[in-house]
């Protein structure tokens, strides 16, 4: 049988029509010779009725079925006003069981009390829940609206490498051993930062990417080892243009996906002002803690002092342009140097971070030197970028917007795990696939890796 209607489609005007529905058995109720079943798919739910049909007695929760019949009016007093199809039902004349199901580990209508570990282990069942599906559909619509907006504004989407060079700063890299080059490793990117700057040197001028990024760090409710961000970069730009692009983008996204019109432009405060007033660089400035309130935080310190190592580190990353009037303070008074970096905060949650970038080799080397990188280390890690700057690199800047955090806020979720199809746990593990997992000796030998006896470290 080929489906002719979805389970959320039939209405009173369809009464008398033939219909074929496919989906999952949500609930079954026996009333003597009549068996009532709620059949569910991604689009909704419809009540179907079997009269003296023996095969219907086999049906259990989550069986996948196809049914053919005539759309009929529900008897007076039995309508379900809680669903769009509630005025009709399908009188079934033909049933096909496409696949039976084991008893699910939890009820879809009563999963709130189920542990997250169990829900993630059986994520393919958890994803059948309408509330969970709605969040993934919202995610799709948000990302689509972003793509549509940026395409109209002259941005081009470019995919940057996932296997790249390890340039650790801040969070740890996920390393990937090279089979063809024993003793050498790729890293999964913490961001497309260097490649998007190279794209500006390449003359593409307006770039964006829905980028998958990776950081090997301890997890919290707003962190995952792999996460998605809207990554952007613009040539011949300044802070004002970046702010305007993002404000118009978010205005469009909220209106298209939620019917909300944001108030723009967003308010701004310097880092110094937010710390003095709120003792936080990501304050929630809402008066009544409802709705969405955006805030640009600007002029972050360029450096921060590392007490443990007794050296200066970057507040953001080493490619951030300092305020021009502070450049002469870099060597002797780094604590006073302000940056052209900016964060976007929603309701006390940082959802975007960006800056105007350094585009001249001399200044970039000066920054590397200030944070303790020798000339040799700088060339080894970032030599390709330094060289690119000598071939006509334009002024440029950009921003990266954390999609998982933004979507969670828009969906009203407390954790980004709710808006990711297959998230990891707080131990960076996947209960469904049991990743990470051991590999066999043959694979390790091909990679030139030998594990130590405690299985926690490896050497070459």
pLDDT tens across 86-124, in order? 999 999 999 999 999 999 999 999 888 899 999 999 999
pLDDT tens across 377-397, in order? 999 999 999 999 999 999 999
Alpha-helix runs per DSSP H in 308-374: 361-370
Alpha-helix runs per DSSP H in 50-129: 116-121, 123-126
Residue 3 inside a domain? The answer is no
Rg (CA), the chain: 28
Q: Judge contact between 139 and 191, C-beta under 8 A.
A: no
One domain for residues 91 and 129: no
Cβ atoms within 10 Å, residue 313 = 15
**CB-based burial label for 147 (10 Å; 0-12, 13-18, 19+):** middle
Helix 239-258 × helix 403-411 angle, to 10°: 40
CA gap 321, 344 in Å, rounded: 18
Residue 20 inside a domain? The answer is yes
One domain for residues 178 and 240: yes
Domain count across the chain: 2
DSSP 3-state assignment of 48?
strand
Residue 157 inside a domain? The answer is yes
CATH number (domain holding residue 55)? 2.40.50.140
CATH number (domain holding residue 156)? 3.30.930.10
One domain for residues 80 and 130: no
CA gap 81, 83 in Å, rounded: 6
Peptide bond into 265 cis (omega under 30): yes
One domain for residues 172 and 284: yes
pLDDT tens across 252-304, in order? 999 999 999 999 999 999 999 999 999 999 999 998 888 999 999 999 999 99
Q: Judge contact between 274 and 280, C-beta under 8 A.
A: yes
Cβ atoms within 10 Å, residue 231 = 25
**Considering the chain, what percentage of its residues have pLDDT values greater than 70?**
97
Residue whose structure tokens are 């990266």 = 400
Angle (CA) 6 8 12, round 5°: 105
* Bridge partners, 175 (sequence order): 187
Residues in the chain: 460
CA atoms 417, 159, 295, 148: torsion sign? negative
One domain for residues 136 and 47: no
CA gap 264, 299 in Å, rounded: 21
CA atoms 201, 202, 206, 208: torsion sign? negative
- Token pair listed for 32: 């003597």
| Selection from 6, 434, 433, 424 nearest residue 227 by Cα | 424
CA gap 335, 304 in Å, rounded: 7
| Selection from 403, 404, 396 nearest residue 196 by Cα | 396
DSSP 3-state assignment of 350?
strand
Res. 454: pLDDT tops 70? no
Q: How many helical (H) and strand (E) elements, i.e. helices and strands, does the chain have?
A: 10, 19
Predicted local confidence at residue 222, as pLDDT: 67
- Token pair listed for 430: 């996947």
Residue 329 inside a domain? The answer is no
For residue 290, the enclosing domain spans: 125-299+340-359+394-432
Mean pLDDT of the chain: 95
Peptide bond into 436 cis (omega under 30): yes
- Tell me the average pLDDT across 186-207: 97
Biggest alpha carbon–alpha carbon distance for the chain: 89
Predicted local confidence at residue 170, as pLDDT: 62
One domain for residues 21 and 164: no
Residue 406 inside a domain? The answer is yes
Res. 455: pLDDT tops 70? no
One domain for residues 79 and 133: no
pLDDT tens across 341-375, in order? 999 999 999 999 999 999 999 999 999 999 999 99
CA gap 338, 336 in Å, rounded: 6
Residue 459 inside a domain? The answer is no
User: pTM of the prediction?
Assistant: 0.93
CA gap 343, 281 in Å, rounded: 9
CA gap 248, 20 in Å, rounded: 44
One domain for residues 154 and 51: no
- Tell me the average pLDDT across 405-411: 97
pLDDT tens across 230-249, in order? 999 999 999 999 999 999 99
pLDDT tens across 20-49, in order? 999 999 999 999 899 999 999 999 999 999
One domain for residues 87 and 132: no
Residue 114 inside a domain? The answer is no
One domain for residues 293 and 237: yes
CA distances from 188 to 169, 289, 362, 374 (A): 13, 38, 28, 25
CA 394 to chain centre: 30
For 347-369, b/e burial (b = at least 16 CB within 10 A) is beebbbbbbbbbbeeeebbebbe
Residue 78 inside a domain? The answer is yes
pLDDT tens across 301-316, in order? 999 999 998 999 999 9
Alpha-helix runs per DSSP H in 331-430: 361-370, 375-388, 403-411
One domain for residues 234 and 141: yes
One domain for residues 85 and 149: no
CA gap 426, 223 in Å, rounded: 9
């Amino acid at each position: 049988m080929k489906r002719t209607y979805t389970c959320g489609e039939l209405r009173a005007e369809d009464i008398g029509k033939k219909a074929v529905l496919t989906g999952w058995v949500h609930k079954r109720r026996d009333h003597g010779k009549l068996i009532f079943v709620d059949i569910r798919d991604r689009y909704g739910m419809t009540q179907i009725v079997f009269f003296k049909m023996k095969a219907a007695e086999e049906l259990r929760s989550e069986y996948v079925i196809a049914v053919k019949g005539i759309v009929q009016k529900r008897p007076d007093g039995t309508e379900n006003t809680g669903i769009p199809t509630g005025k009709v039902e399908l009188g079934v004349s033909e049933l096909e069981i496409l696949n039976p199901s084991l008893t699910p580990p939890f009820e879809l209508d009563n999963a709130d009390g189920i542990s997250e570990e169990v829900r993630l282990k059986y994520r393919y069942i958890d994803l059948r829940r309408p509330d969970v599906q709605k969040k993934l559909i919202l995610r799709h619509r948000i990302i689509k609206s972003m793509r549509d907006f940026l395409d109209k504004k002259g941005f081009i989407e470019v995919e940057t490498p996932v296997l790249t060079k390890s340039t650790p700063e801040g969070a740890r890299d996920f390393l990937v051993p090279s089979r063809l080059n024993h003793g050498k490793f790729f890293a999964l990117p913490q961001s497309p930062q260097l490649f998007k700057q190279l794209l500006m040197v390449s003359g593409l001028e307006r770039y964006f990417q829905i980028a998958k990024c990776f950081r090997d760090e301890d997890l919290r409710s707003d962190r995952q080892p792999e996460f998605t961000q809207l990554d952007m970069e613009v040539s011949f730009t300044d802070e004002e243009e970046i702010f305007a692009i993002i404000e118009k983008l978010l205005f469009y996204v909220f209106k298209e996906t939620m019917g909300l019109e944001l108030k723009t432009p967003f308010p701004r405060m310097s880092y110094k002002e937010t710390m003095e007033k709120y003792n936080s660089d990501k304050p929630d400035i809402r008066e009544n803690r409802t709705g969405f309130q955006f805030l640009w935080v600007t002029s972050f310190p360029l450096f921060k002092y590392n007490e443990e190592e007794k050296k200066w580190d970057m507040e953001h990353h080493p490619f951030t342009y300092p305020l021009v009037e502070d450049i002469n303070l870099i060597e002797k008074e780094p604590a006073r140097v302000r940056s052209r970096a900016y964060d976007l905060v929603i309701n006390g949650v940082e959802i975007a971070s960006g800056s105007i970038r350094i585009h001249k080799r001399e200044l970039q080397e000066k920054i590397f030197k200030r944070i303790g990188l020798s000339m040799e280390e700088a060339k080894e890690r970032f030599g390709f970028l330094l060289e690119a700057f000598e071939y006509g690199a334009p002024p440029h800047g950009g921003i990266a917007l954390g999609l998982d955090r933004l979507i969670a806020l828009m969906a009203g979720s407390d954790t980004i795990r709710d808006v990711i199809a297959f998230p990891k746990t707080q131990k960076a593990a996947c209960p469904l696939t049991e990743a990470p997992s051991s590999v066999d000796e043959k694979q390790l030998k091909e990679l030139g890796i030998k594990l130590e006896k405690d299985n926690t470290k490896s050497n070459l």
